[in-house]
Structure 1
């Protein structure tokens, strides 16, 4: 971490303050990744997640869902026991987790298998999951995306409005259930000791299971990030192909818009990543030819 990076410095200050409140050792905090959240490795097998400002309720939900899944026997990352969390510090939410052994991203079939288990669960009784909002934070990201011109931001606002209308008129699909909210191979982790676990529950909600399934369809058809064989294994394992559904294009386009605005959000913090925000916007505006577009990762 560079001393000049204000985003990383703010996250580290919040982490240290939260650790003091929770009685967790922060002396050897080691940054792992900066993206939607800042992730740190601490001592004694602990990993901490530091949210962006104003995301406390999302962190509350993440802890609730993780503990619910543990009780339901679904393999998932586990919160640190005996710590009341999330902890709020400097307007950010900090959560503490048991560190996994060495691991890699799961396969497409791994994602499908865990989604089948998740989607088959009876919703939790001791807390309420809100209805899925696939547009959460998009308007704010667009307004803040100053690397785009005024015309480009207006185009994004109009695109958002069109997709909100399309979602409201979405074709009937599979029965609603608990959805992960951000189900892709990076949030399914295969450990060296043979486990495959779900991670990252801040977008979990009650909604159409197709929202989870379309993430992997986008990974295949929009990004070219998995092969046709991988996607076929995903469909076979789950037992349903979301790309054959009438509502697929609406959810695909929402997912793509989220990926564009995510790149813009990170680009506003790191000028070196702004070119990717421009590449992604050009693609969804029809200026880059047909999919797949092979976008680059924007986490640090």
Structure 2
């Protein structure tokens, strides 16, 4: 690791990267953090990416490797493992190793749609779990940070109750499209677009089986909630998926609410290591509570401090 990296969250994962590399027979010398978010992503010499999970995500890391191989078998463009096995780490964490993609940017929304259309047409493999309660991730984040001081006790109590209400709404959803394999966190930041125009799915650790509307909602909130993409761009997304607009689905408001909760709890979680993001976290809570008027709201991407590697979105 170079001396210029002073981000506390990156520093905290460096011993885990070192241990994982040595266990796998790799040399971590010269490793650089790429993005420190839900997973800590590092690049090591030799065109290999190391992903270290958060505590409690070991099983998801092992499933992610299976999912990547399954996608390769079905010719879906996605990141490929650089090794067949994960390295288990303390606190129920794991590290996985991946082939580094060529230079790339975030994908376009129509790239997301095309890849999802391809994914959603496949038969789900046995290793993918059902998506039973996506609101649970938001609640788990809240439980983990409830005493951190980013959000006051009154707002925290409201958020926890709101998470329970959204879970109830999920279980009461009307039938929509037939259940399919899901990416689980399908947005433009989880698609890589290389210079030659090739698009690849990234971050496969949330893959599951469930309503495809869940994957489509991630982009729909960019226009209905945060106003971060124009309507014309969203229309291109709908067209690239085949013409289905998830905002017409009766259960869209419930799915949108869960996505908004997860985006908000992510900002709260991030503010622990990056205190300058606390204001954005509180702004999002105020929006959810109805204090900032109707949607769309103005939400700002949650970044690393200046000089640190990569954005947290």
Which TM class, normalised by the smaller chain length?
A: over 0.9
SS class of match (1:178): strand
**Counterpart in the other structure of 1:33:** 35
Structure 2 CA distance for aligned equivalents of residues 3 and 194 of structure 1: 31
**Counterpart in the other structure of 1:133:** 133
**Counterpart in the other structure of 2:85:** 85
TM superposition score normalised by structure 1: 0.94
Cα shift readout 1:177-210 (whole Å, capped 9, x = no counterpart) = 1011001111111101331111111111000000
Which ranges in structure 2 are unaligned for 5 or more consecutive residues? 305-313
**Counterpart in the other structure of 1:103:** 104
Q: Greater CA deviation, 127-136 or 274-283? A: 127-136
Are 1:116 and 2:117 counterparts? yes
Q: Is the 8 A contact 2:133 2:170 kept in 1?
A: no
Which ranges in structure 1 are unaligned for 5 or more consecutive residues? none
* 1:153-192 pair list within 5 angstroms: 153-192=156-195
* 1:145-294 pair list within 5 angstroms: 145=146, 146-238=149-241, 239-294=243-298
SS class of match (2:34): strand
Structure 1 CA distance for aligned equivalents of residues 106 and 163 of structure 2: 31
Cα offset for 1:135?
Answer: 2.1
Cα offset for 1:273?
Answer: 1.5
TM superposition score normalised by structure 2: 0.90
Question: Paired residue for 2:24, among 22, 25, 28?
Answer: 22
Structure 2 CA distance for aligned equivalents of residues 85 and 299 of structure 1: 32
SS class of match (2:10): helix
Structure 1 CA distance for aligned equivalents of residues 203 and 141 of structure 2: 20
SS class of match (1:94): strand
Cα offset for 1:140?
Answer: 2.6
Cα shift readout 1:146-203 (whole Å, capped 9, x = no counterpart) = 3111111110011011111111110110000101100111111110133111111111
SS class of match (2:41): strand
**Counterpart in the other structure of 2:51:** 49
Quickly say closer, same or farther: Cα 1:235–1:40, change in 2 above 3 A: same
SS class of match (1:265): helix
Cα shift readout 1:97-149 (whole Å, capped 9, x = no counterpart) = 11111111111111111101000001124x34333431233223212143111
Q: Is the 8 A contact 2:277 2:303 kept in 1?
A: no
Structure 2 CA distance for aligned equivalents of residues 21 and 295 of structure 1: 41
Quickly say closer, same or farther: Cα 1:112–1:128, change in 2 above 3 A: closer
SS class of match (2:135): coil
Q: Count matched residues.
A: 297
Q: Is the 8 A contact 2:86 2:95 kept in 1?
A: yes
Q: Is the 8 A contact 2:128 2:207 kept in 1?
A: no
Quickly say closer, same or farther: Cα 1:201–1:133, change in 2 above 3 A: farther
Q: Is the 8 A contact 2:184 2:206 kept in 1?
A: yes
